[in-house]
Amino acid sequence: MAYLAIKNLSKSFQNNLVLDHINFEIEKGTFLSLLGPSGCGKTTTLRLIAGFEHQDEGTIHIGGNTIDTLPPYKRNIGLVFQSYALFPHMTVGQNIAYGLEQRNFTKGDIKKEVSKALEMVQLTGFENRKPRQLSGGQQQRVALARALVIKPSLLLLDESLSALDKKLRVDMQIELRQIQKEVGITTLFVTHDQEEAMTLSDQIAVMKNGKIVQMDTPQNIYKNPVNSFVASFIGQSNFLKGRIKENSQFVLQNGSTFSLPQQDYSLYNQEEYIISVRPEKIRVDQTRPSYPHIQGKVKFVTYIGNLSMYLIEALGHDIRIQQQNDSYRDQLKVNDEIYFSWNASDQSILTE
Amino acid sequence: MNKKWWLVSPPVFLLISFCVIPLFIMVYYSFLSDGTTGHLTLQNYLNFFQKGFYLKLTWKTISTSLLVTIICILIGFPMAYIMAKVINSGKNIILIAIIIPFWTSQLVRAYSWQNLLRDGGILEIILRKLHIIGPEPLGILFTQTAVIIALIHIFFPYMVITIYMSLEKMDTSLIEASKSLNAGPFTTFWRIILPLSKPGIISGSILVFVPSLGVFVEPRILGGTEGSVIGTVIEDQFFEIYGWNFGAAVAFILLMIVFISTTVLSKFAKEEV
């Protein structure tokens, strides 16, 4: 059995099914993000593992043992809260020592462990500060040190970075990942921020309505989303809904037709499909190419510095295209007539 | 200096003319030998401190108030905790139930307690039905116990509401954080919940302890001959014996006790945090 195994976990609040028989397993040392919109059950999963709520059905195993019957204070799980939850009446040192005191460490050992933990999060010398004297980023680090110092079997992070401003958040992401790898601790990170999940995780579990829609590495989820929800939740995508006909022809719901890139489509025999293509995977030509393409007109241009986003009017749809602003590529202008296409390997053919 | 000072002049005027000046007149009376005339003397204060009776009464007043305060904390804290952290709905109903007795006159409530507690009263009937007491009379009315029960009933809301407010402000994830760090319920209570609700407990204690020191209605109606406290002495001096000078002296001694106890309690609240 894997290090952390969640089996058939279910939870309802007042007849409202929040978590619907979810299953997943991860190996020791893995960084897994539970990603999804609010109300998808990700926080409930975390609270069930921490022991603050109790599941209606299912089991949670850590290291081969079930923890279902243990109260939170016997589960040996490190937690970093969204609000950090540092004890305001204690100093930084006392906050970090708190968990060690519960384990009957000697005074000397506690002192040693606290200074080691502070060194790990680069806050040496902050022992005697009160939490309110620290910046958001520093509080975040103290919370992390406090959770890790007890050498937990699992680290749970609850939207822990979302309270920080963007620049600091990116720094903390890198630092968090480094510390996580250094300590080698199995980590479960709850977030609604797909970028954060992509940056930090070995694995991402995308959740919706109390179920795991897809669980895979960030690369695979981005490249091969299982449905349009995942494709639109992780990054951006263009969706074209319609029927696949002979000769790789695709008929959209509004009747417009175009040729799909060369590929064997004989297996796609259902009524309706959704073609999903990422904006950055679309190739633009300003002269008519020989391979299958679609003709369109630039409707709107957004300049983002290193990138430009274009809104293209084609086939009665709005298509988003993203391009690098290279020195050898001209920026498109509004009303430019263009021809665009993509490789068969860059499209996902989805059923929902 | 701020030019808007005149905006506060009406309340300042009211306070000075109806509160500060009368207070100083009373201080003056407490140093007079007889009524509004007489000569200046310390005799009124000396009378108080030289008679063991008054000192005993002072101690009785303080210890009764302390007991009332402690019982209010012991009942009020769990109740406030349940309201703030355990239940999700019905908080408002409980709050209203706590506040409604406030709108009833203290005198009416005292007489209600007299009816409940008297021998052959409702409490006695219920306790006998439950076989908690035998055929002997209840014997609570006109004792110190009756006074304490009534005082708890009157001042308890102050305690619950102030503790409730401090617990309500407290982030629930602090309790969860403590548990996740291997602290059991007892340690979590002792090291996290209690220290963080200390300011609420202390202001609640001041709100219960201070008015308990000065009560005279409940001791009179429910305490009978056993019921004398400082408050009843002051009342007697002013309304029965017309010994304004001694009454004023006792009132200021009580005021001093109030000052000292609130100072000590607030100092306590300021430590740490």
Q: Give the residue numbers in A contacting B (CB under 8 Å), as ranges.
A: 50-52, 71-79, 81-83, 85-89, 98-99, 102-103, 146-147, 150
CATH of the domain at A72: 3.40.50.300
Rounded mean pLDDT of B85-90? Answer: 86
What is the reported pLDDT for A213?
A: 94
CB contact under 8 A, A73 and B191: no
The total of structural domains in chain A comes to 2
Shared domain check, A252 and A190: no
Taking CB atoms and an 8 Å limit, are B171 and A85 in contact across chains? yes
Residue A331 shares a structural domain with residue A214:
no
Same domain, A286 and A164: no
- The tens digit of pLDDT for each residue in B254-265 reads 999 999 999 998
pLDDT of A261 > 90? The answer is: no
Mean pLDDT of all residues in B62-91: 93
A290 and A213 share one domain: no
Domain boundary among A186, A201, A230: A230
Most B CBs within 10 Å, among A43, A70, A73, A142, to test the B interface: A73
pLDDT of B121 above 90: no
Best residue in B169, B181, B191, B192 to probe A by mutation, most A CBs within 10 Å? B181
User: In whole angstroms, what is the distance from residue A182 CA to residue A175 CA?
Assistant: 10
Higher pLDDT among residues A203 and A164, named by residue: A203
> Is there a domain that residue B13 lies in?
no
- For residue A99, which residues of chain B lie inside 8 Å, CB to CB? 181-183
Please state whether A189 falls in left (phi above 0), alpha (psi between -120 and 50) or beta.
beta
Alpha carbon distances (Å) from B38 to B21, B27, B29, B237: 20, 14, 10, 17
Do residue A208 and residue A245 come from a single domain?
A: no
Residues A140 and A55 in one domain: yes
The span from the CA of A160 to the CA of A2, in Å, is 26
CB-based contact, B272 to chain A, within 8 Å: yes
Per the CB < 8 Å rule, is B178 touching A76? Answer: no
Closest Cα of chain B to A204: distance in Å? Answer: 24
Choose one of A230, A251, A271: the last residue of a domain. A230
Q: Report which of A211, A266, A217, A157 is spatially closest to residue A27, judged by C-alpha positions.
A: A217
In this complex, the residue of A83, A89, A98 whose CB is nearest that of residue B181 is: A98
For residue range A262-320, list pLDDT tens digits in order.
888 878 877 889 999 999 999 988 888 888 888 899 999 998 888 899 999 988 889 99
Helix ranges (DSSP H) in chain A: 42-50, 92-101, 107-120, 136-148, 166-183, 194-200, 218-223, 228-233
Residue of A79, A128, A149, A151 best to disrupt the B interface, most CBs of B under 10 A: A79
Predicted confidence at residue B189, as pLDDT, reads: 95
User: Is A31's pLDDT higher than 90?
Assistant: yes
Nearest alpha carbon to residue B48 among B212, B228, B230, B227: B230
Question: pLDDT digit string (tens) for B147-171?
Answer: 999 999 999 999 999 999 999 999 9
CB atoms within 10 A of CB A133: 12
A248 pLDDT more than 60: yes
CATH of the domain at B122: 1.10.3720.10
Q: Which residues of B touch A79 (CB under 8 A)?
A: 176-177, 180
Domain assignment present for residue B65? The answer is yes
What average pLDDT does range B48-66 have in this prediction?
A: 92
Looking at the domain assignment, is residue B212 inside a domain?
yes
What CATH number is associated with residue A295?
Answer: 2.40.50.140
The range of the structural domain enclosing residue A91 comes to 4-230
Residue B103 inside a domain? The answer is yes
Give the gap in angstroms from C-alpha B161 to the nearest C-alpha of chain A.
22
Residues A251 and A338 in one domain: yes
Q: Do A89 and B195 touch (CB under 8 A)?
A: yes
* CA atoms within 13 Å, Cβ hemisphere of A237: 26
Where are any strands of DSSP class E within chain A? 4-13, 16-26, 31-35, 57-62, 65-66, 77-80, 154-158, 187-191, 203-208, 211-216, 238-244, 249-252, 257-259, 273-277, 283-285, 294-303, 307-314, 317-324, 337-341, 347-350
Structural domain span for residue B160: 52-270
Q: Give the dihedral of Cα atoms A208, A212, A216, A222; nearest 10 deg.
A: -20
Between the alpha carbon of residue A34 and those of residues A182, A280, B176, the distances in Å are 22, 26, 20
From B180, B182, B272, residue closest to A50, measured CB to CB:
B180
SS3 category, A193: coil
Last residue of a domain, one of A183, A212, A230: A230
Q: Determine the distance in angstroms separating the CA of B269 from the nearest CA of chain A, rounded to an integer.
A: 12
Of A67, A15, A22, A5, nearest to A209 by C-alpha is: A22
pLDDT value of position B271: 61
> Does residue B7 belong to any structural domain of this protein?
no
Q: Which residues of A touch B179 (CB under 8 A)?
A: 51-52, 71-73
Contact: A81, B173; criterion CB under 8 Å: yes
Flag whether the ipTM exceeds 0.85. no
For chain B, what is the domain count?
1
Interface of B with A in 152-171 (CB under 8 A): 171
Residues B125-149: tens digit of each pLDDT: 888 888 888 888 888 889 889 999 9
Mean pLDDT for the stretch of residues A164-182: 87
In the prediction, which pLDDT does B269 show? 74
Give per-residue pLDDT as tens, A181-214. 999 999 999 999 888 899 899 999 999 999 999 9
Q: Comparing C-alpha atoms, which of A40, A158, A167, A145 is closest to residue A96?
A: A145
Report the C-alpha gap between B97 and B93 in whole angstroms.
6
Residue B35 lies in a domain: no
Mean pLDDT of chain A: 90
Distance CA A52, CA A325 (A): 50
In a domain, B46, yes or no: no
- Per residue in A62-100, pLDDT tens? 998 999 999 999 999 999 999 999 999 999 999 999 999
CA distance linking residue A349 with residue A351, whole number of Å: 7
Q: Are residues A221 and A243 in the same domain?
A: no
Chain B residue numbers touching A147 (CB-CB < 8 A): 180-181
List the single range of A126-130, A152-156, A257-261 with lowest mean pLDDT: A257-261
**What pLDDT does residue B273 have?**
46
Helix (H) or strand (E) holding B270: helix B244-270
